[in-house]
Chain A
Amino acid sequence: GAGVSQSPSNKVTEKGKDVELRCDPISGHTALYWYRQRLGQGLEFLIYFQGNSAPDKSGLPSDRFSAERTGESVSTLTIQRTQQEDSAVYLCASSPRGDRNTIYFGEGSWLTVV
């Protein structure tokens, strides 16, 4: 389909390793969000990209987290030196230029740090 695509869908990693999560937004969507959802909890905003503007990084929990996006295409979220508390679902979402009030979510990347 033409929805938001995230990979990997599941990732188990050892504590201390780095992980990279990928998001392919819907084609033509200028805005892209990353959220984190811990088990049984709500969505925690991480970062927002809008076109070529400077991203809003205010939700990144520590300097171990970073994200990049080139133009209006793919985004990667990188977590360095993973900790067990990083275990969560990482959700990517995008919205089109003409309707920034409707956000389309991907299925998420389930990260388990052991």
Chain B
Amino acid sequence: AQSVAQPEDQVNVAEGNPLTVKCTYSVSGNPYLFWYVQYPNRGLQFLLKYITGDNLVKGSYGFEAEFNKSQTSFHLKKPSALVSDSALYFCAVRREGYQKVTFGTGTKLQVIP
């Protein structure tokens, strides 16, 4: 079984401040972890992924995420938030060797000018 938890329904941050969107996962075996972003009335877009190697993964639009195996977390971060980052963010997990990708319930990020 595999699951993802995004504990915050919404995160508010002031423009220019650092942002963090939290994600924890549960999977038996090695996890492959992903972040996707959904802008209003748009499809989901891939941001970044962790497969193996360096725990800090860099992705699109200046986002990065850190894989923490001991805490089973994969939090999304950005040093300086932009108003245009306001969107719905989804964390996802896939167990190594399996194809099914399980998504979290999403976190709405609101960047305040």
Residue in A33, A58, A101 whose CB lies within 8 Å of B49: A101
**Contact of B101 with A45 in the complex, beta carbons under 8 Å:** yes
> Which residues does B use to contact A, with CB under 8 Å?
6, 32, 34, 36, 42-46, 49, 51, 90, 94, 99-106
Q: Would you call A41 and B105 a contact (CB within 8 A)?
A: yes
Interface residues of A (CB under 8 A from B): 4, 31, 33, 35, 41-43, 45, 48, 50, 56, 58-59, 91, 93, 100-108
Residues of B within 8 A of A91 (CB): 43-44
A105 cross-chain contacts in B, Cβ below 8 A: 36, 43-45
Kindly identify which residue among B32, B90, B99, B102 contacts A50, using a CB–CB cutoff of 8 Å: B99
A-B contact count (CB 8 A): 50
A31 cross-chain contacts in B, Cβ below 8 A: 99
B51–chain A nearest beta-carbon distance, Å: 6
Task: Write the nearest CB–CB distance from A42 to chain B, whole angstroms.
Answer: 4
> Residue on A with the closest CB to B4?
A42
Task: Decide if B90 touches A104 in the complex (CB within 8 Å).
Answer: no
